[in-house]
Structure 1
Amino acid sequence: MMTGVGGLWMLAVVSNSGSGTTSQQKEFDMPVVGAATHQTLSGVSSHDVDALEDAIGLREASRESTGLDERTFALVKIATLIALDAPPASYAWQVGNAIAQGVTPEDILGVLRAVAPQVGGPKVVAAAPEIMVALGLDLDEEG
């Protein structure tokens, strides 16, 4: 467990062995984070397109190397998120990119259906609400 006050942080390590529980504590100073680093991390965490491109910067080069058009590339990215059981923030970013490339919600549903036999039901069920949220749909709302 890590706790901190100001720039001083303490890491507590607890181990449980046959001879009982032991605990060690170590203090360390957190590094000073530069303004540019802070700004980039803030931008990436809030899905700022420019910050993401600066931080990641590989999207366009990656797409060009595949030979896929932008729309197909966006659909492949969504299929990959489903297969990996990706975190919600990934869906928000990739679904937004896909919509910007002309992908429709129906296309995304088609991807979900297409990958289901390969990735399995649990991953499809887990991905569906993430896709709904990324599309701005209410999870409790029925279409």
Structure 2
Amino acid sequence: MATASDAPVLDTIAAMTIDSLERCGMDDGTLILTRIAALVAMDAPAISYLAHVDPALKARLTGEQLQDVLVAIAPVVGTARVMLAAGHIAEAFGFAIALADSEAELIAQAEARSRRKA
């Protein structure tokens, strides 16, 4: 029987991801690059790449490594799909930067309010 949740789809995806990570022997960087290649192959939207921005940063992946993956898979998945993916990846990083900026602004506002009270 399923358990009640406010976000059952996200909870399911998170559980699948955790299970996959536990069963996979790849290092973090290779795992993320492999997943990005799979996203390109299936023509995933930008939001799918967004879930991989933080893990990619934590794995210390570089822009060159992401480009290398796109170059490596282009002959298999096609140039049009790779170009779309590059745009989706850029969009995902843009979302991540905007979220980080918003979060930083909220923190700065909270700190300013805290200083005024003190």
- What's the TM-score bracket when you normalise by the shorter of the two chains? 0.5 to 0.7
Letter in 2 for 1:84: M
Question: Equivalent residue for 2:34?
Answer: 76
> Which one has a larger percent strand, Structure 1 or Structure 2?
1
- Fraction of identical pairs, as percent: 41
Number of corresponding residues: 91
- Cα RMSD after superposing both structures: 2.1
Gapped regions of structure 2 (runs ≥ 5)? 96-118
Which structure 2 residues correspond to residues 87-102 of structure 1 after superposition, within 5 A? 87-102=45-60
Offset at 1:60?
2.8
Which of 96, 104, 117 aligns to 2:62? It is: 104
Offset at 1:127?
0.6
Question: Equivalent residue for 1:120?
Answer: 78
Q: Which runs of 4+ in 1 moved over 4 A?
A: none
TM-score normalised according to structure 2 size: 0.66
- Aligned partners of 1:133 and 1:101: how far apart in 2? 20
CA offset digits 1:42-73 (Å, max 9, x no partner):
xx7xxxxxxx4x33212232123231111111
1:95–1:112: structure 2 CA closer, same or farther, 3 Å change rule?
Answer: farther
Q: Which structure has the greater CA radius of gyration? A: 1
CA offset digits 1:83-131 (Å, max 9, x no partner):
1101221011123322222212221111111111111111011111111
Q: Which moved more, 1:76-85 or 1:90-99?
A: 90-99
> Which one has a larger percent helix, Structure 1 or Structure 2?
2
Gapped regions of structure 1 (runs ≥ 5)? 1-35, 45-51, 138-143
TM-score normalised according to structure 1 size: 0.55
Question: Equivalent residue for 2:12?
Answer: 55
